[in-house]
Amino acid sequence: MKWNHYQSLIILAAFIIKFVNCAPMPPLDPIAKSRQHTQIGKNLFKNNQLIKAEREFRLALKLYNKNDQASEFLALILWQTNRYLEAERMAQYTLQLNPSSGVAHFVLAGCLFKKRELKAALEEIRRALALLKRPVKKRKAEELLAQIQAELTQGKKQEDDWLNLGLKYFNQENWEQAERFFRKELKRKPESLRAQEYLALILLRRGYWEEAARIAKKIIARTQKSAIAYFVLGYVLKLKKDQLNSAPLLAKAKQLADDKRIAIFERFRKEEPQLIKKVGSSTLSEKKVIPPEQRLKIAVFPFENANALTEELKLGESVSEMLITALINTQCFNVIERSQLNKLLEEQKLSQSGAIDTETAVEVGKVLGCDGVVIGSISKLDRVIEADARLIEVTTAQALLAVSGRSNSIDQLRGMAEQMAKELAQKAQALPVKEKE
């Protein structure tokens, strides 16, 4: 059989068809792949398959990090699954990519609400309502707005009631709760005389006589008509066996007091044996009091929040404040006031609320003329709160002492701080005595 021209053409056409069918499709570019994963994620999100949807949105962002739809949905998933810190960061990132994202403003408002930053949350939810179009999302935003407004109203009412709540718990002899509300009132209104007076009484009752005396002196410097201030100062001196100076102060207190305050004084006198035992055992009898010129001069920095729960509750700053008060009461340290530390941190443009690394803390300690600085961290897992603290010597940057504490609830944090301060004081007494220069 002869090979003709037509047969050659047929064979060539067959080869071409086969080659075209077998040739691989051109690969999708990263942006197209990212959009593909975003669409899959959206479908999974609608079916409430959040784990799988999150994986798709993360893949989409990995392929194209400017995919604002993927970041928007990822922020929403993180918020719905209670990962508020990560959700807040993702919402902020989305707003950098797309400032008109109503969902991102909504998520950010929800995260700020959880952090109790209510005014900032209110601004964000109002922006979200202005941008959101879909009725379902708008309704959820309106619900969150109502919650924020209710909390703001309740918060203002609570602020007005802090003094009254403190007095209520004082009359019930619930000293810890009363102290908590009087401190809140003083934070809001530092010049509140009644809050200062009753706080001094509570501190005296709980055995923190040094701080009680300091508050009483501050009141007397401001007004000489406070029966409670004279009583507290006189009673502290009496507990210290200084009858010569305590008698005129107690007499002055009786002279100024009305029937209500006399009743309070009588209650303290009935409890005097217990107070003497408590104060004597914890601060006078068993403890070696170090002369002021031989005490270590220290500064206590805000503790590092080791996880999201402590960061959300701002426990690092709270525990470091409690530790400062407890360390002062041990009479083993000269503690730099927080206001002085904050002023220097502000001058150096350093954070006042977050944790500071060891090197920076040591440098700041040197500027303040400290012998040592206290740094630490706090973590919360379920109901258990754990804290670690180290006393760092500023000349060598070496840890001199280390202590740890554990609490089963937030209400017991002050007790944990006091125990840590006590351990630091005991260990400090074993260190070589600092000679006066």
Query: Where does residue 223 rank: exposed (0-12), middle (13-18), buried (19+ CB within 10 A)?
Result: exposed
CATH topology of domain 191-284: 1.25.40
Over residues 379-400, the mean pLDDT reads 86
Query: d(Cα 69, Cα 60) in Å, to the nearest integer?
Result: 9
Confidence band, pLDDT 50/70/90 cuts, at residue 432: low
Query: d(Cα 264, Cα 243) in Å, to the nearest integer?
Result: 21
pLDDT recorded at residue 354? 52
Fold matches, 30-132 and 191-284: yes
CA atoms within 13 A on the CB side of 408: 0
Where are the chain's structural domains?
30-132, 191-284, 292-429
pLDDT recorded at residue 118? 81
Confidence band, pLDDT 50/70/90 cuts, at residue 350: low
DSSP state of 293: G
The angle subtended at Cα 88 by Cα 85 and Cα 90, nearest 5°, is 110
Confidence band, pLDDT 50/70/90 cuts, at residue 281: very low
Most distant pair of Cα atoms in the chain: their distance = 139
- Do residues 287 and 330 make contact, with C-beta atoms less than 8 angstroms apart? yes
Over residues 274-281, the mean pLDDT reads 46
- Do residues 376 and 320 make contact, with C-beta atoms less than 8 angstroms apart? yes
List pLDDT tens digits, range 53-85: 889 999 998 888 898 999 999 998 888 888 888
Confidence band, pLDDT 50/70/90 cuts, at residue 105: very high
Flag whether the pTM goes above 0.75.
no
Answer whether residue 86 shows pLDDT above 50: yes
What single string gives the DSSP state of each residue in 355-370? Answer: ---HHHHHHHHHHTT-
Q: Over the chain, what is the mean pLDDT?
A: 80
pLDDT recorded at residue 310? 77
- CATH 3.40.50.720 corresponds to the domain 292-429: no
What single string gives the DSSP state of each residue in 127-161? Answer: HHHHH--SHHHHHHHHHHHHHHHHHHHHHHHHHHH
Query: d(Cα 107, Cα 111) in Å, to the nearest integer?
Result: 6
pLDDT recorded at residue 373? 92
Confidence band, pLDDT 50/70/90 cuts, at residue 346: confident
Q: How far is CA 287 from CA 37, 116, 331, 405, 428, in A?
A: 67, 41, 9, 21, 12
- CATH 1.10.287.3610 corresponds to the domain 30-132: no
Q: Read off the amino acid at residue 264.
A: I
Confidence band, pLDDT 50/70/90 cuts, at residue 6: low
Element housing 269 (H / E): helix 259-270
Element housing 379 (H / E): strand 372-381
